[in-house]
Structure 1
């Protein structure tokens, strides 16, 4: 059965100064489409999405949205001017009386609608923009990097929302696991052309590589044909000059066709070089605790980090991952306990706020003025792992153009800033890499290369990330920070941690998940074997149920949710207490009556859920 189109682009062409971003582009998004929009950094993904949203006007072509179809766009840098709180912004386009929709999604996205706009962080503003889009529930959602600044739990919540929605959506993200879980089709921007594959992102790389292989075959055949025709032109043209001018012109056409083939953008020439080998012990934390005011960050935490370990730190936003990272590297002190740093440490830091980059500096300045990162400070050269290189040449290795060398850092996209910071770090040999959210904004190809470099790196890696696939590929141990000062060390990556967490919640002793005596991480096969060997025998009494982390978190947050719903009911009741409302505004009276019933149902459900969890917690 044919699906109705929600949006149609026809003959779209767009140029920003130089080469065209798109040329004669046709595209249709239909009802129920769940589309991944992928491509290299700078390929035009966000620009194309803005054309879809009507925020960027194409030089040629048309954008058609059927009458009555609502299209919503979540932008990366929302404008919140004119709004007092994040909630005011998120509810600004909702009909009166439906502001509760924002509260419903705010809980899943973990942002406070009452937060004043002037004190909100960039991440909170982006979450408010995402909440606004989800609360409005348009027929077509355009989502530009919605997982940036979300923690893993909120990403999981958003996954479930998108999997259950009846709306169509187009999604830009560099989170593999998120794309694989949510999409059914893929739009790939490659050198100004948009190709579509009717499978989700899980099949993208195989499809892309097949197209590239066909392109290479076509280029090889064309090269052979040009070579043969050129030989004929040299050896046989003199005797048949008049009769064969058409063939000469055809050779010229072949050469023009070959010249117009746009070469694929390569991957950045990133490389990591370990400096002098550090001591066997890199960091050891013994009974460490930390508190900021009333908030407990860490309590009696212990860890031994050895040379070559790759440790991932995971947990909700605000739980203290960056704080723990700074404590382990000696940047901030612990309140109690002891942190011992190893010998011969040579540290390189990638901070999530890109504070090492001055937005007013040029890319050239960024590489040549930071002597602490091992660069020379000379006008035209940068020392790269002990070898002088021209600044522009080194920038080209990280996929920057000649023109960008003198451009200000503030003009770069998020992915380009990440690449520039990696260029600074990788210019300097190190044996301890501290990476706080390095995966934000990087394209899939660059993420793949970074993962390979970290896996092969001879030094030690401390990593904070919300990218589950990246953690699985890189980490040898995972530190899960669960709030209230709790931080537990698990062997393996994200998937290993989740399996172990489930087993622990099912009654398995946490002690059995310690690393083996030889220091090697427990594998998935080891875990399954242990689980099989320790199954409860048939007929044995079942252990008392324990709350999982998610259930405990839900039990902790339900009282606030119940109080919020009760406050909404009270406001509606106050509105309905106006004796003249029905006569004056019958539609508003009817709407408020329906809403108070919905809110009462929600209150009953929340109270029942709280009672069930409270009973389970009490054993």
Structure 2
């Protein structure tokens, strides 16, 4: 089934062409990722498909039988609604049935109550309510009474994500799910859950993400937007990179030929008299086409840098027995670490574990409760925080960078101009002379990052640098950091980025415990999984009956006579004691399956099976108590 057909779409803002005459189709079951640098028009294309923007020319036809839902970077919400009320603002029949059912709980109108229950059954709203709560739980949203206006930015995005995923399940119709950077503000456990959910879900997906592991796991088609064109790649992220390299190699060969022809044609153009004949017009048109190809720049990331970093002394940074708590919450407990020259350390842990607090303590922005910190005299910190860029109104990009210095020093005695450094980070000449206020959100974040690096620090501290950065910029940043000779601390949930850069992990494991692990992010996760599995297998399980029935023994009076069970009752008791642990095990397995299942029909079947087993287990427990009392 065809969902979307677009033909010859063109969109410009002023003289900047985002894309020109692009055509594509989206079919049922497609899972597509869009890859492009910030400012190329990714978000604009998504808004055109949503009907929020209009293309300059071309057509985009959306099948009338599908619904299109968008997870955007900007969330609209009423701050006075609590989380449950916000979730119930969905416009669908199952949600309406759920709202009427909740009203019926406080109603005395029997007709209304009967209709509410009938609608719950007809629209399978019982299952939807169960799945909604599971999604919220997986995204660490537990207090449904909390007002939206009291939540952090990250919490609001997680609630909005839960609402979107619920919406795709609420209507039993064809849905195109459009997601713009869904993994921002999610910790690793949440990202892996969402990855698993979208991989299993029978949905059609159009996705913008910088998380390459997430992209590889969820999507099997990649659209590459570059220089106003749209290129299609079937397969993995590695396949896309290989195809892109081949295309650019071929284009570079064409450019070399065009340069030779361009020089010859330029000589001919200069010799031509002003009054040109009709006969020469075709050659003049050909000249301009050749000039366009010859001036194409495909070697955007080919510059190798040998940095002249500010000198690092023998003493870098040492933390000794640091304690830090907020009330009863312990973030750091007796933490000690000595940073080495050239060390690249990744800091990982759940949201709120204390990662950003540690960064602030290191730089003196926040006081610690106990301990000592020694910082080398030659240390120059470069701190990339999550807060936005500060700039003057109408200040141009090039002037903003030149405020630091005109040139960036290289180790060979040479230097890069501010303009050359900007080009390294994908700011073309036109963008360099544009006001910062005209940049997209991602471009501003890229400029902020470049601003930090251009100051030439010798100790870099990055707090979630990959949020809102595009994949081309991440590639440039990774290449830069791999060559960086100073010390580096990174807090990030981007698994690919961490695996490529860090050689050492400090893992916040809760209650102030920070584990020192030599290796990259994935190696730490694998080691932790093995340890957790081993610990689980070595736990001594209690006796089945005691595990199942946690009821204290009823004191028996010494005068209370005890009777023997009949043969039939004895056999019944033995059967119950044998079956109860089996039912418990089945129930646990179904709950685990429900937490990891996203197919609606399977969830409905598992829920029904869970209800049957729970009822049988409850009957067994009651009968077991009766037989025990009989003794």
TM-score range, shorter chain: 0.7 to 0.9
Q: How far is the alpha carbon of 1:88 from its aligned partner? A: 3.2
1:149-188 equivalence runs, <5 A: 149-188=185-224
Aligned to 1:357: 390
Aligned to 1:121: 152
CA contact (8 A) 2:223 2:232 kept: yes
| Whole-Å separation in 1 of the counterparts to 2:355 and 2:227 | 39
| Whole-Å separation in 2 of the counterparts to 1:197 and 1:406 | 34
| Whole-Å separation in 2 of the counterparts to 1:326 and 1:603 | 51
With over 3 angstroms needed to count, the CA separation of the structure-2 counterparts of 1:301 and 1:211, relative to structure 1, is same
| Whole-Å separation in 2 of the counterparts to 1:603 and 1:130 | 32
List alignment gaps of at least 5 residues for structure 1. Answer: 376-380, 509-541, 547-561, 566-593, 609-619
Q: Does residue 259 of structure 1 match 2:279? A: no
Relative contact order (alpha carbons < 8 A, sep ≥ 6): 1 or 2 greater? Answer: 2
Aligned to 2:182: 146
| Whole-Å separation in 2 of the counterparts to 1:384 and 1:224 | 33
| Whole-Å separation in 2 of the counterparts to 1:321 and 1:388 | 36
Q: How far is the alpha carbon of 1:12 from its aligned partner? A: 1.7
Note the alpha carbon deviations across 1:131-153, whole angstroms, 9 max, x for none.
22211116211111111111111
Q: Does residue 75 of structure 1 match 2:72? A: yes
Aligned to 1:470: 497
Aligned to 1:578: none
Q: How far is the alpha carbon of 1:256 from its aligned partner? A: 2.2
CA contact (8 A) 1:273 1:430 kept: no
Aligned to 2:135: 105
With over 3 angstroms needed to count, the CA separation of the structure-2 counterparts of 1:507 and 1:302, relative to structure 1, is farther
Q: How far is the alpha carbon of 1:414 from its aligned partner? A: 3.2
| Whole-Å separation in 2 of the counterparts to 1:160 and 1:219 | 44
CA contact (8 A) 2:312 2:379 kept: yes
For the residue of structure 1 that corresponds to 2:506, the secondary structure is strand
Note the alpha carbon deviations across 1:48-101, whole angstroms, 9 max, x for none.
111112211112222222222111111111121465234433442142214554
- After superposition, the CA RMSD in angstroms is 3.9
CA contact (8 A) 2:184 2:467 kept: yes
With over 3 angstroms needed to count, the CA separation of the structure-2 counterparts of 1:408 and 1:315, relative to structure 1, is farther
Among residues 322, 329, 332, which one is paired with 1:288 in the alignment?
A: 322
1:200-215 equivalence runs, <5 A: 200-215=236-251
CA contact (8 A) 1:174 1:442 kept: yes
Aligned to 1:426: 453
Corresponding pairs, count: 511
List alignment gaps of at least 5 residues for structure 2. Answer: 99-127, 169-173, 542-587, 592-603, 619-631
Aligned to 1:50: 47
CA contact (8 A) 2:68 2:177 kept: yes
With over 3 angstroms needed to count, the CA separation of the structure-2 counterparts of 1:187 and 1:180, relative to structure 1, is same
Q: How far is the alpha carbon of 1:435 from its aligned partner? A: 1.0
Q: TM-score, with normalisation over the residues of structure 1?
A: 0.73
CA contact (8 A) 2:502 2:520 kept: yes
CA contact (8 A) 1:191 1:264 kept: no
For the residue of structure 1 that corresponds to 2:157, the secondary structure is helix
CA contact (8 A) 1:382 1:391 kept: yes
Q: How far is the alpha carbon of 1:333 from its aligned partner? A: 2.1
| Whole-Å separation in 2 of the counterparts to 1:192 and 1:118 | 40
With over 3 angstroms needed to count, the CA separation of the structure-2 counterparts of 1:99 and 1:383, relative to structure 1, is farther
For the residue of structure 2 that corresponds to 1:166, the secondary structure is coil
| Whole-Å separation in 1 of the counterparts to 2:416 and 2:607 | 70
Among residues 326, 344, 347, which one is paired with 2:378 in the alignment?
A: 344
For the residue of structure 1 that corresponds to 2:238, the secondary structure is helix
Q: How far is the alpha carbon of 1:405 from its aligned partner? A: 5.9
With over 3 angstroms needed to count, the CA separation of the structure-2 counterparts of 1:299 and 1:360, relative to structure 1, is farther
Q: How far is the alpha carbon of 1:312 from its aligned partner? A: 0.5
1:295-306 equivalence runs, <5 A: 295-306=329-340
CA contact (8 A) 1:269 1:398 kept: no
CA contact (8 A) 1:351 1:435 kept: yes
